[in-house]
A and B are shown apart, each in its own frame.
Chain A
């Protein structure tokens, strides 16, 4: 083992450059990988929620985007469709109006969002009925209109505790609960009753506001979307199709299975792009190890000859070189991981104040990166090591 380090130290600059190649690869892999992990976790959380209900949005809008409103009549009619257990109206809008003049307000992660739900409705998401609370309580049918439960990131960013007042779009709310960290969307949510959320939405939209003031807009018709729960033993896809058949001209229906498939497809594409680019950097690093080890073998032909002459087995020669390459990978991996974790942590700390962390640094991922870097080194060392072990002693000896 000591000999391996001494051999690496012999060509310090070359060893440094090789390790640097791996450092870049592993750094990219760590940063990109932790970003992919975070996004996957967020997507998983979202997928769990989305696949737990049939989501309905006004025609012309997508999930969580407001393109219109869903009239209460439609909601009531949908709730009467065969197989439907209940329909829960929801309103979502940004906690703060985005400032288009401030580029710093651009966010990679989800923005703080108001989530107004009809807690009196019998609607329940099948996968997400309750949320674990860090402090206080989650809103329920008895909650008052000026009460909110907030995600942990919203609480941290606004320095809020249970019992504090939270001013949202000029209106005061009382924080009654803080949801435990989910590492997903709800960390950025402000849960409130649907009524104040409707009022805030109308207030934020000049067109709706004028209609409302003229008395042409019923507040109950202001729903950005709705969740439909189905009765036990009924196929969600069949129910979704029934809604589509009857109200397809008025609403977009997102069935749990199709949405799940869509999410999987999107996340697979995203993961391939993210991890593909990181792997590319890693392959470059891998070839730098191959190059270094091939050069080492030709430089050390004489030594290999001596070792073989005094009885070294081909396996011991091969394992010596493989291990050396593995250690180069390991050192590069450890430095790359350190830099990656440092960078991700710094960016996370900065992003936390601008809309959420975008990297997820899981210990198992970090251990995996270290093991992976060693394996990469070993793989890179295999060919040069085999070359070394196959050197004919007499040819190597002739160099003496």
Chain B
């Protein structure tokens, strides 16, 4: 039986922008992510894709609904525990790469290992292995501003893999890359999914990226429509 990595039922989330302006970002989302999934979430701007990703990634809490990650109930999770779950079970890949500018590629990857509770020797070994795997062996001591966009995103992928998460959430991972580099990055993600059975949930506007995924989840007006 396939393991359920994340399960959302009736997830609702609103943002109060002012007294009269309340945005209902999610209006009852049901979603199940299985181990080994390689899914894309698509939909127009403001449909709630990013909000859903934040909730699945435990960066935000739902107002209503039930959320499970790796079989654990996360609906009422406090921030004090959320960071441990984020560190150990979830990997993030952001649109703007979002590496720490003062740290080298190697140190950026190491940092995730530190937060994940790995020992110094464990994280050194794993960070080198991951950067090697992603073809960045000769770039490990470069700072983000000394790397190309594609290289930075590969560092971000290595960072996301550092604690061997059960779910990797990617928010427009190719959004700031040219088409050739986008293909390279997607090829890496697909390879990780194929060879290591890594679970990916990719938020994208790009239909080429979505079509590259095994499953496409359509969202509209805060709901999953297809």
Whether A associates with B in a native complex is: yes
A171 interfacial contact with B, CB 8 Å: no
Name the B residues within 8 Å of A310 (CB-CB). 86-87, 92, 111-112, 115, 159-160
Whether B98 pairs with A311 at a CB distance below 8 angstroms is no
Asked if B147 lies at the interface with its beta carbon under 8 angstroms from chain A, I say no
Our count of residue pairs bridging A and B at CB distance below 8 angstroms stands at 65
Q: Contact at B102–A10, with CB atoms within 8 Å?
A: yes
- Distance between A142 CB and nearest chain B CB, rounded to angstroms: 75
Q: How far is the CB of A230 from chain B (nearest CB, A)?
A: 69
| B200 adjacent to chain A (CB < 8 Å) | no
CB distance from B188 to the nearest CB of A (A): 19
Interface core residue of B79, B92, B102 (most chain A CB under 10 Å)? B102
Knowing A3-B102, A3-B103, A394-B59, the reply to whether A311 touches B96 (Cβ < 8 A) is no
Write the nearest CB–CB distance from A327 to chain B, whole angstroms: 15
Query: Which residues in A have their C-beta under 8 angstroms from that of B98?
Result: 302, 306, 400
- Distance of A310 Cα from B123 Cα, bound (Å): 15
In the bound complex, how far is the Cα of B99 from the Cα of A302, in angstroms? 10
CA distance A136 to B140 in the complex (A): 72
**A400: which B residues are within 8 A, CB to CB?**
94-96, 98
- Kindly report which residue of chain A lies nearest to residue B112, judged by CB atoms: A310
Is A168 positioned at the interface, with any CB of B under 8 Å from its CB? no
* A6 & B102 in contact (Cβ 8 Å cutoff): yes
The count of chain B contact residues (Cβ–Cβ below 8 Å) is 29
Residues of chain B within 8 A (CB-CB) of A312 are 83, 87, 115
What residues of chain B have their CB less than 8 Å away from a CB belonging to chain A? 54, 57, 59-60, 79-80, 83-84, 86-88, 92, 94-96, 98-103, 107, 111-112, 115-116, 159-160, 163
**Which residues from A are CB-within-8-Å of B159?**
310
Interface of A is mostly: helix
Decide: B87 and A311 in contact? CB cutoff 8 A: yes
Residues of A within 8 A of B60 (CB): 393-394
A1-37 vs B, CB cutoff 8 Å, 1 = contact: the mask equals: 0110011001000000000000000000000000000
| Binary interface encoding of chain A residues 161-175 relative to chain B, with 1 for a CB under 8 A from any of its CBs, else 0 | 000000000000000
Interface string of A74-88 (1 = CB under 8 A from B): 000000000000000
